Amino acid sequence: MRELPRAPVRLYAGTADRDVAFANTESCRRSLAANGVDAPVEEIAGADHVGSALAAYPRIVRWFRELATRS
């Protein structure tokens, strides 16, 4: 029996990432969805690997803050 994550899941990906193909993120999202997990993708347009990480960090912090205020 598979267990679903007990925490919310969100994926972040840069559309110009040459180290990790954006298609990998979509594949991961589909796999999670097939197992009942809602994992939206935050697309970081035009960002490469490092650029997408740097752009994602503030978004992740905001999301965590939003989640913390709901608890």
pLDDT values of the chain reduced to their tens digit, one per residue, 71 residues: 678 888 899 999 999 999 999 999 999 999 999 999 999 999 999 999 999 999 999 999 999 999 999 86
Cα distance between residue 9 and residue 25, in whole Å: 12
Pairing of strands 11-14, 41-44: parallel
SS3 content of the chain, % helix, strand, coil (to 5): 50, 10, 40
In the prediction, which pLDDT does 48 show?
96
The residue with tokens 């029996």 is 1
